[in-house]
Amino acid sequence: MPALIFDCDGVLADTEQYGHLPAFNQTFREFGLPVQWSVQDYADKVKISGGKERLMSLVTPEFAELIEIPDDPTARTALVAAWHRRKTEIYTDLIEGGVVPARPGIDRIVREASAAGWTLAVASTSAEPSVRAVLTHAVGPEHASQFAVFAGDIVAKKKPEPDIYLHALAELGISPEEAIVIEDSENGLRSATTAGLRTVVTVSSYTFREDFSAASLVVSSLGDPNPGEMTRVIADPYNIDPGPFITLRDLAHVAALSRPKPQETQ
């Protein structure tokens, strides 16, 4: 059976606008930082992979002088890490509080894949506690325990570099031909296809305008009969021809395709 590898944010749940963004803004308030990201501000920040990296993007010379950030690189890195730890705590509390619902079809497809003997994994640039919180919330503790989780700083180079997916393949002991990825962003797609992985994209609120030309299938969501959200096909270059909901059969068809041509990493 193939391995089914999920990204986390935007795939398991639409976490960016309703989880990460308010967690960043609360962190800024608690640390007295003179910034609050709007929804539009954050649309630019989500193009940066990794929470610490998004925070570090704040630290321009002007901002550093305004709030007296230390010049020493080690001290500066430690300060950003402290911001990120608190942001992760806030975010995890939001997820565990049920603020961010799972995306349609995630629980359904995980249960079907588990019953069919598929290997399950998550590969994400988010901090591991955040990923595990989202995963447990999306599929329940029993099925979450069946996942291998590869997250955060487990690799040096984050998406769009392929390192997280190459690491996942190595740890799972499988080849790219034995796995399929579900992503929601262009950075994630680049990461997966550069690693040689066939990828289904379920677009999210922040990514629907991005370039998914290298994907094997692009859809609005996996779809779910309860609460009745059907899959809308956005791009189907290999004529997978899914029905109203993405099924394991559809994913098996994707897994049987020839290896993808990766996009050039910019």
Cite the active site residues.
7, 9
Q: By three-state DSSP, how is residue 147 classified? A: strand
Looking at residue 224, the DSSP 8-state letter turns out to be: B
- Whole-angstrom Cα distance, residue 94 to residue 25? 13
Q: Please answer whether residues 183 and 164 qualify as being in contact, where contact means their C-beta atoms are separated by less than 8 angstroms.
A: no
- Whole-angstrom Cα distance, residue 200 to residue 65? 44
Which residues are CB-contacts of 13 (< 8 A; sequence separation ≥ 6)?
19, 95, 100, 101, 102, 103, 106, 134, 137, 138
Measured at the CA of 79, the angle between CA 74 and CA 81, to 5 degrees, comes to: 95
- Cα 48–chain centre separation: 12
Helical packing angle, 106-115 and 248-255, nearest 10°: 70
**Residue 111 CB burial class (10 angstroms; 0-12, 13-18, ≥19):** middle
- Whole-angstrom Cα distance, residue 103 to residue 105? 6
Q: Please answer whether residues 221 and 231 qualify as being in contact, where contact means their C-beta atoms are separated by less than 8 angstroms.
A: yes
**Of 188, 226, 228, 180, nearest in space to 204 by CA:** 188
Q: Which two tokens stand for residue 49?
A: 């992979």
- The β-bridge partners of 147 are 120
